[in-house]
A and B are shown apart, each in its own frame.
Chain A
Amino acid sequence: MRIVVLVKQVPSTDKVKMDVETGIMVRSATEAELNPLDTYAVEEAVRVKEKTEGTEITVISMGPPMATYAIREAIAMGCDKGVLLSDKAFAGADTWATACTLSSALKKLGEVDLIFSGERATDGETGQVGPSVAAQLDMPALTYVSKIREVGDGKIVVERAIEGGHEVVESSLPVLLSVVKEINEPRMPNLTGKIRARKTEVAVMTAADIGLDPSRAGLAGSPTRVVKVFFPSMSRNGMIVDGKDPEKTVEQLLQFLNDKSFI
């Protein structure tokens, strides 16, 4: 089986601190990691590979040269090959242009049976790139996948975590799956994996390499424009009371909830 996992490098979420005065989240610009929600996609791909003989997993990411770090993380977990799509022409892409770049590369790289992506990236939080890639490759997008029941013989049965429960659907292959955290417990890369990741060469491809018209890539190819960015403060000046006397404090709380018509 031929599997592709789409990953993104994001600012590290563990390193996030809150500015005490403003309530604004502060991230270190230098610390980056494999999007935590992508690790579930990587893990699930590796699990399919472990059960299906002759499976090869290619990790693809679009980003600056430093994004090879995220690709190597995925290889350390058990993926075989890595491709980084990196070109100045890709910079500033919105979800449509990003999907265009990824799907052009996928067409160039040949047939695929399964494409995995995370539910969304923890920075942009759109969750749009996976389904867009599927549409551009004319394959179905199964989103919010929480379990693969069976895969093989040109079809797959999955559970999707949607509002109010789980939907079970079957699809023909090829198909794109965007997976949620519920699907598995990602492994920590072991030493052998880490060594292999370090030794594996990550191919770098440009717009020319994937045959993409630069007018469909990056900021130039993006239908949307960010016109303003601002930082709202999360802090509220709430009333904080001491709960030493539970009876009294709970009465205060009930009064508060009553005043706000919650009870």
Chain B
Amino acid sequence: MKINEGKFQGVWTLGEQRDGDISTVSYELLAWGRELADKRGTTLASVILGHNIEGKAESLIQHGADTVYVVDHPGLEHFTPDVHAAILEKLVREFMPEIFIASATTYGRTVMPVLAARIETGLTADCTVLDIEQESGLLIQTRPAIGGNVMATIKTPEHRPQMSTVRPRSKKPLALDASRKGNIVVKEYPGDLYVSKVKFIEFIKEETTALPIQEADMIVSGGKGMKDAKNFNLIHELADLLNSSVGASRQAVDMGWIPYSHQVGLSGKTVSPRLYIALGISGAVQHLAGMSSADVVVAINNDPDAGIFRVCDFGIVGDIFELLPVLIEKLRERKATSSEGEHKATSSKGGS
């Protein structure tokens, strides 16, 4: 849509749900949305599509939305790209938002390009910073390319809405405010709009309780230096102790020590955790490209010239097989003492 096709106003975020629960990324996105809406002096709305989700709309308001558009239908229970995009198109054409952002998850990165193609507007992928340009009021979208080695600032001057996907974890969600009030608008569409060419069959859950690396707060990552699949278990052990997710270099994935979904880097996933621990990873540029936006990087490697040491905050030059067991042991002791402490605290609380 061209800017002169009507009066576009308001900031929208695309909410995301899994099995009827609102995903954390939806709240992160609202924090971005709130900031943009306030700078632009406008309202913030969130859109959520799903089945049996109407009751969850309130939580989006409590996290910063002024309005929530809900489309609740059995046909939206699973992600069907054609139907989800068609519904979003209906909503956008009716309410004409000026800005529409989504998370750069597999959902956002699929439905948004389809939507942008349908309504003929620009879409900027995987932004890490969003802002409003004071003079023009335009959305300023900043994104890394070539694995974070180039940052590009992008505008959508003549088309509306201005759309971007935003990298998960690029902002903290706002604190929940149970007293916040807003409008919940439930939209219904004719049944044929929900008929998809795609049919959901099943979901095979990965056998882990850890978060996918793209959303993880902490990642323990192993590379070629782990030498074999058995040693790679040490990575899992440490990750368990730290309650973190497991990452890997390309070499570790290519050796078959861990599935591809854990690969960090240019041909894997880009991650932005608070803590990234690189073990036995030399730090090829292609790997660094995927993790350089971590807040804190810790590395252990026996090669003092390893590239990973250039980008780390705390590095240990040494033998991983000497250091890692000691680290695991000490963390285990620590955990045992602290859980004893917690236990005492709980029982004393119970006694009082």
- Give the B-binding residues of A (Cβ under 8 A): 11, 13, 16-18, 20, 23-25, 27, 36-37, 94-96, 99, 122-136, 139-144, 146, 157, 159-172, 175, 180-182, 222-232, 234-236, 238-244, 246-247, 249-251, 253-254, 256-257, 260, 262-263
**In the complex, chain B residues whose CB is within 8 Å of the CB of A231:** 149-151
Bits for B110-154, please: 1 = Cβ < 8 Å to A, else 0: 101111111011111110000000000000000011111111111
A162 to chain B, nearest CB (A): 4
Q: Contacts A94-B122, A249-B318; is A238 near B260 (CB within 8 Å)?
A: no
The answer to whether B7 has its CB under 8 Å from any CB of chain A is no
Q: How far is the CA of A34 from the CA of B316 in the complex (A)?
A: 37
**In the complex, chain B residues whose CB is within 8 Å of the CB of A224:** 122-124, 154-156
- B contact residues, total (Cβ < 8 Å): 97
**In the complex, chain B residues whose CB is within 8 Å of the CB of A99:** 113, 117
Q: How far is the CA of A241 from the CA of B318 in the complex (A)?
A: 9
Within 8 A of A (CB), among B279-306: 285-286, 288-289, 292, 296-298, 300, 304
Q: How far is the CA of A11 from the CA of B83 in the complex (A)?
A: 36
- Cβ 8 A contact of B242, one of A135, A235, A263: A263
- Give the A-binding residues of B (Cβ under 8 A): 18, 78-82, 85, 105-107, 109-110, 112-118, 120-126, 144-159, 196-206, 212, 214-215, 218, 242, 259-261, 263, 266-268, 270, 274-275, 285-286, 288-289, 292, 296-298, 300, 304, 307, 309-319, 322-323, 326-327, 330-331, 334
Q: Contact at B203–A166, with CB atoms within 8 Å?
A: yes
Q: Contact at B318–A244, with CB atoms within 8 Å?
A: yes
**Can you list 10 pairs linking A and B with CB atoms under 8 Å apart?**
A95-B123, A96-B123, A124-B145, A127-B113, A140-B197, A167-B200, A168-B202, A229-B151, A234-B288, A238-B313
- Cβ 8 A contact of B114, one of A135, A181, A242, A260: A135
Q: Contact at B120–A17, with CB atoms within 8 Å?
A: no
Q: How far is the CA of A153 from the CA of B191 in the complex (A)?
A: 27
Q: Contact at B109–A143, with CB atoms within 8 Å?
A: yes
Q: Contacts A96-B120, A157-B201, A163-B212; is A250 near B323 (CB within 8 Å)?
A: yes
Q: How far is the CA of A182 from the CA of B288 in the complex (A)?
A: 21
- Which chain A residue has the least Cβ–Cβ distance from B123? A128
Q: How far is the CA of A133 from the CA of B198 in the complex (A)?
A: 17
Q: Contacts A140-B197, A228-B152; is A163 near B318 (CB within 8 Å)?
A: no
Q: How far is the CA of A191 from the CA of B286 in the complex (A)?
A: 30
Q: Contact at A236–B297, with CB atoms within 8 Å?
A: yes
**In the complex, chain B residues whose CB is within 8 Å of the CB of A242:** 316-318
Q: Contact at B151–A249, with CB atoms within 8 Å?
A: no
Q: How far is the CA of A241 from the CA of B314 in the complex (A)?
A: 8
- Cβ 8 A contact of A161, one of B114, B197, B260, B300: B260
**In the complex, chain A residues whose CB is within 8 Å of the CB of B155:** 224-225, 227
